[in-house]
Amino acid sequence: MAHSVRHALITGSSRGIGRGIALALAEDGVNIAIHYYRNESAARETLEQVRKRGAQGILVQADVTNPAQITSMFRTLKAEFGKLDVFVSNARPEVPEFFQGPLDITLKQWDTAFDSQAKAFLVGVREALPLMGDGGRIFAITYAEGSRTGGLQPWVGMGSAKAALESLVRYFAVAVAKRGITVNALSPGWTEDSVLNTLPEQAQQLLRNWHTSGWTPMRRLGTPEDIGNVVALLCSPKARWITGQVIYADGGASLMNPEVPAEIQIA
């Protein structure tokens, strides 16, 4: 992999964490397929930043809740790149499209969550594999706190969908292991310049204060660059033995114990 130019597709790389991943890989000389849904101008901005880092890029568009559009996106990718070394499934619909508690969530919201995560990953990985040589890298961006806990009630659809996504990661990891392809889930903590910035100002401040006051032991929120760097690291041939894992990239936030009041455990 290190000897020829690598190619990556990152869904939802018009902005947020996806953009951070695109830019970190571009810095390593990887050519990037920047995927967007509606925000073409943001995708063009990512493309400009990819080129500034000396890599090449193309734009691809698809609604990831629609399998036919995923397939058509990969057709474009094959025509433009011919091969793929890295596939990152990162896109996630806007919060109002799935944000509803378990007693009220509509089946449409539920399907949006599952179609955009588990089904999109199932379809995307099966499209990506024929384009991938041995030693490829596949990532699912999850939110492991949402799949493990139940407190943030309106997250039920996305949390359940992420749990299914993490499960698929393990099954695919076994399925493609003999080709030396790794499949991992990466779980960011709360991250700046992402969906966070679309929340009401008061919610943003509460979240920032909570994390900077100690819930994240490193005392800051993550950045898209932090997450991009982890993906770049795991794309190294030296990470070839890590597969089927849910890897937390959260400055230590997942180490805190929610049963013990913060005042007692924060150092």
Tokens 């050519």 label which residue? 31
- Phi, psi dihedral angles at 218 (to 5 degrees): -80, 0
11 C-beta neighbours (distance < 10 Å), count: 28
Nearer to ligand NAP, 237 or 252 (CB): 252
Which residue from 256, 150, 249, 248 is spatially nearest to 213, judged by alpha carbons? 256
Give the integer Cα–Cα distance in Å for 14 and 34.
Answer: 7
* Amino acid at residue number 146: G
Is position 211 an interface residue for ligand NAP (rule: CB under 6 A)? no
Contacts of 187 (CB under 8 A, 6+ apart): 141, 142, 143, 144, 145, 246, 247, 248, 249, 250, 254
Task: Enumerate residues 111-150 that contact ligand NAP by CB under 6 A.
Answer: 116, 141, 143
| 29, 38, 51, 206: which one binds ligand NAP (CB under 6 A) | 38
What SS3 state is found at 139?
A: strand
For 189, other C-beta atoms within 10 Å of its C-beta total 23
Stretch that binds ligand NAP, among 2-10, 22-30, 61-69, 103-111 (CB under 6 A): 61-69
Q: Does 46 bind ligand NAP (CB under 6 A)?
A: no
> Which of 37-45, 74-82, 102-110, 257-265 is the region at the interface with ligand NAP (rule: CB under 6 A)?
37-45
Q: In this chain, which stretch among 52-60, 91-99, 123-131, 210-218 interacts with ligand NAP, using CB under 6 A?
A: 91-99
- d(C-alpha 34, C-alpha 43), whole Å: 7
- Contact between residue 40 and residue 63 where contact means Cβ atoms under 8 Å apart: no
Alpha-carbon separation of residue 129 from 9, 81, 93, 122, 238 (angstroms) = 12, 14, 24, 11, 21
Q: Does 36 bind ligand NAP (CB under 6 A)?
A: yes
Which residues in the 171-190 window bind ligand NAP by CB under 6 A?
Answer: 188, 190
Instruction: Verify binding: residue 87, ligand NAP, rule CB under 6 A.
Output: no
For residue 233, give the nearest of 249, 215, 256, 257 by alpha carbon: 249
Query: Least separation, in Å, of the C-beta of 200 and ligand NAP?
Result: 15
Closer to ligand NAP by Cβ: residue 66 or 265? 66
Of residues 184 and 194, the one with the C-beta less far from ligand NAP: 194
Q: Applying CB under 6 A, which part among 32-40, 75-83, 131-139, 166-174 lies near ligand NAP?
A: 32-40
Pick from 7, 32, 37, 226: which binds ligand NAP (CB under 6 A)? 37
Residues in contact with ligand NAP by CB under 6 A are: 12, 14-18, 36-39, 42, 63-65, 90-93, 116, 141, 143, 188, 190-191, 194-196
